[in-house]
Structure 1
Amino acid sequence: MTKMTEIDLQQLQQAMLSYLQKHWKIFFAEGVFFVILGTLAVIVPHVFTIGITIFLGWLLLLAGIVQLIRAVRFITMPGFSLWFLTGLLQTVVGYFLVMEPAQGSLTLTLLLTVFFAIEGLVKTYLALMMRPLAHWGSMLFSGITALVLAIVVWAGWPSTGLWVLGLLLGINMIFLGWTLVRISLHHKTSGE
């Protein structure tokens, strides 16, 4: 893997600038959507927490059933036992999340903590890539916020597990939406 040169970085930043200017309306609309959805999640975090858990449960349950059916249909296929076990695991986890959403939300809250930590690192890295561009600090702030949210979840565990998933997801969506709106409005082209 080669080290990114100053010229490569400048070309990447110029390409990003061009893309933001050309598609600012899409980024703006996405930002507004995330702010509205995030605000709803902050207002009723319990509902979003249970809703997220049940939705994910159904996805896993249905995906697991489909994978089990396919595995059984191709029982002579090499790796049958691995395909079958994967489908069985998805089915069991999905069933658990659907039938016990409160307990499932505790598990998902821990997973969300990991997600926020990784997302915070990625956003921070993206902010540093955007550094000379306007409002790069907003992306950095969003990254740091995601990292702080991960710490808050971990510090309050397990009592926060039933409501924090919806609340933190909402806060994260608000910051992401706010960032996208600011970046898009700054890069709005005068010809549109």
Structure 2
Amino acid sequence: MTTTATEAGLKKSWGWMAAFAVISLVGGVLALLNPFAATLAATMMAGWAFAFLGAMQVIQSFQIKGWGGFIWALLFGLLTLAVGVSLIFNPLAGMVSLTMLVAVLFIVTGIVKVMLSFSLRPVTGWGWVLLSGIVSLVLGVMIFADIFAAATQVLGILLGIELISNGVLFLFTALGLRNLR
């Protein structure tokens, strides 16, 4: 069986994917070793992303003459820009705000999972959905219980876990690409 040009190209790219895996795994370990620095970095990156997107939205709002949605697009852009600038110039307060958002998301997700689990009760495995919901709720409550301490750690820990998860994904993808026929 001959390989197609696409398969051959994919096989050649395994080295890049392996490099992505190493970078992601190292970044994840570093984030877990220093969650405060990772949290600060994540907050600053979010700030710059919001600032850039807000500025682009403001510019875009002026691009269409006579558009009825101009004022809303402009206000949205200015609000997004203000959030970004706030995160950049006051990252410690930004850490608290973003951590509160994460806690709220955990709690809301937990409630939804618990409700979903009860609707799945006749299905085998519904208890795992319930357990996942309870874990999400507990995490959200734990974050809120000590929000200021959590604000310096939670985002960095979550970033580290995400980077390690991505690194594992990239590693197994690289190995799969390398073994293409």
Q: Same fold (TM over 0.5)?
A: yes
Q: Residues 122 and 41 from structure 1, CA distance in 2 versus in 1: closer, same or farther, beyond 3 angstroms? A: farther
**Cα offsets for 1:48-103 (capped at 9, x unmatched):** 42233223223322221111011122353213222111101101211222343222
Q: How does 1:102-117 map to 2 (within 5 A)?
A: 102-117=92-107
Question: Residue 38 of structure 1 contacts residue 170 of structure 1 at CA under 8 Å; is this kept in 2?
Answer: yes
Q: CA deviation at 1:38?
A: 8.5
The reply on whether 1:132 has 2:122 as its aligned counterpart is yes
Q: How does 1:1-192 map to 2 (within 5 A)?
A: 43-167=33-157
Question: Residue 97 of structure 1 contacts residue 104 of structure 1 at CA under 8 Å; is this kept in 2?
Answer: yes
Q: Residues 53 and 86 from structure 1, CA distance in 2 versus in 1: closer, same or farther, beyond 3 angstroms? A: same
Q: CA deviation at 1:111?
A: 1.3
Q: Residues 51 and 142 from structure 1, CA distance in 2 versus in 1: closer, same or farther, beyond 3 angstroms? A: farther
Letter in 1 for 2:125: H
Determine the C-alpha separation between the residues in 2 that align with 1:44 and 1:67: 35
Where does the alignment leave 5 or more consecutive residues of structure 2 unmatched?
1-26, 165-181
SS of corresponding position for 2:122: coil
Q: CA deviation at 1:130?
A: 3.2
**Cα offsets for 1:104-155 (capped at 9, x unmatched):** 1111111112111111112222323333333322221111111111111211
Q: CA deviation at 1:39?
A: 8.0
Give the aligned length: 138
Question: Residue 149 of structure 1 contacts residue 168 of structure 1 at CA under 8 Å; is this kept in 2?
Answer: no
In our comparison, the structure showing a higher alpha carbon Rg is 2
Q: Residues 146 and 171 from structure 1, CA distance in 2 versus in 1: closer, same or farther, beyond 3 angstroms? A: farther
Larger CA deviation: 162-171 vs 138-147: 162-171
Determine the C-alpha separation between the residues in 2 that align with 1:155 and 1:77: 47
Larger CA deviation: 159-168 vs 117-126: 159-168
Determine the C-alpha separation between the residues in 1 that align with 2:124 and 2:28: 24
Determine the C-alpha separation between the residues in 1 that align with 2:34 and 2:113: 26
Q: Residues 38 and 44 from structure 1, CA distance in 2 versus in 1: closer, same or farther, beyond 3 angstroms? A: same
RMSD: 3.1
TM-score, structure 1 normalization: 0.59
Q: Residues 125 and 149 from structure 1, CA distance in 2 versus in 1: closer, same or farther, beyond 3 angstroms? A: same
